[in-house]
Amino acid sequence: MAQYSQDMKRELKPEEREQIVSAVAAGDRVKATSIYLSATEGNLTDAQNFVRTLTAERIEAAQEAEKKSG
């Protein structure tokens, strides 16, 4: 994820990142992308990559939790 922060015009504040994480958790990638764009003034590709990375991390974490509980 650090690679994306270098391309941003402005770093995400913790509360902005939480909003994006919440939107991803709710399955609303459009909202997550919109929040990223508004917060960082970055470009669409960077926003989509950031959201894609968060989504992949969420899926991976869920799979790991399932393996541990099962």
Percent of the chain whose predicted confidence (pLDDT) is above 90 = 81
Provide the 10 A C-beta neighbour count for residue 1: 10
23-36 average pLDDT score? 96
pLDDT at 2 over 70: no
pLDDT tens digits, one per residue of 36-70? 999 999 999 999 999 999 999 999 999 999 999 87
The pLDDT value recorded for residue 1 is: 44
For residue 50, which of 70, 68, 35 has the smallest C-alpha distance? 35
The pLDDT value recorded for residue 38 is: 96
